[in-house]
Structure 1
């Protein structure tokens, strides 16, 4: 079975470090692989909870609504898209992330991106930032799902891992001050692996800003 079909959620279960970080604006969490040959990584939760920065805003240039931010977390990109005059929604499976968005007045759907969604095949733009191309642990399945959501000619903006050689699909745990989450599937891909997986998209533009790498892809 594809890892993308797993019900396990990012940072859920165990000590619930993701929910705790969202509630307390903890500065960082650690993404810890179950495979000891893969290195752990620090995650900048504080940036995800802050106002969109210039690298974030660069991903919105030229986009049209309706726009869907996949794995929207606390909603900074939904807010940025609305502020840019776009019709925008977020989708996230985490109840605390969804509650955080709704408390801020942001439109958000509480479900997995792999669940049925409104406007199937009619979205003009999708965002996959902050490593969310790795949701479910199967990058090709994520790209296929995004293609089904977009209309023909729609745009997907996706963020790649900063290491161009990165191509990992594994089980991970999220580690916070109080302990670890349950394990969940996650992938990490640098730009070459990301583009290899995007079978149903044409690359329009790739750029680097403030140490982050992005690709703008158009649905075939």
Structure 2
């Protein structure tokens, strides 16, 4: 698919997922790796799960995908690979060169690009994925939902994973390997299912389904007519 012509616009700064800490974790396929909030609170990142094959919870998301699928923040590509095995056309995007390289080594397509950059097939994707906390990209979930609406067809769906906790926060974090290695500070956000439902409604999205598998919570969103 080729992108339609559109004016060039600046994109917000991307999180430093190209930093060595994240790239090193993906190269080895394991952590520990954390997001560290400025007050010292740590959120463990599930590197091993991301580098494995799609699991049972992931498959409940894939079954709800229709049309070509855009995996936003694809990481090492487990979802794009699983979609390919199901015969579904899919593309992963990620700002981490190592994530994109690892995705391509699975034999599937990925681009080293931010969701806010110009992308192939804008307005023609049937489904988009925001899993593994990626609703937090850029620290402004509202702006992210607006951008995803531009990428999907009018009937397209967004499959998004909410935080396990009942939380709504826009924060600054850095990558931390638990052994003294830390990356630069960048904006992030965390939304539990309730906060995500409220924000989605305010942005013109309707909730088609909500479900929980293995302590992971998901919502299927579509644009209201």
- TM-score (normalised: structure 1): 0.92
- Over 3 Å counting, the alpha-carbon distance change for 1:111 and 1:201 in structure 2 is same
- Over 3 Å counting, the alpha-carbon distance change for 1:8 and 1:110 in structure 2 is closer
- Separation in 2 of the partners of 1:78 and 1:178? 33
- For each residue in 1:45-97, what CA deviation from the matched residue of structure 2 results, as whole angstroms up to 9, or x when unmatched? 10000000000010011321210000000000001111122111101111111
- Separation in 1 of the partners of 2:194 and 2:64? 24
- For each residue in 1:127-148, what CA deviation from the matched residue of structure 2 results, as whole angstroms up to 9, or x when unmatched? 1000001000000011101111
Please give the root-mean-square deviation of Cα atoms over the aligned residues, in Å: 1.6
CA apart distance, 1:8: 4.0
| 13, 17, 21: which one aligns with 1:17 | 21
Please name the residue that 2:182 is paired with: 180
CA apart distance, 1:162: 0.3
Please name the residue that 1:7 is paired with: 13
- Separation in 2 of the partners of 1:147 and 1:126? 9
Work out whether residues 92 and 109 of structure 2, in 8 Å CA contact, stay in contact via their aligned partners in 1: yes
Please name the residue that 2:214 is paired with: 210
What secondary structure sits across from 1:179 in the alignment? coil
Q: How many residues align?
A: 212
- Separation in 2 of the partners of 1:73 and 1:6? 19
Larger RCO, structures 1/2 (Cα 8 Å, 6+ apart): 1
Q: Does 1:66 align with 2:68?
A: yes
- TM-score (normalised: structure 2): 0.90
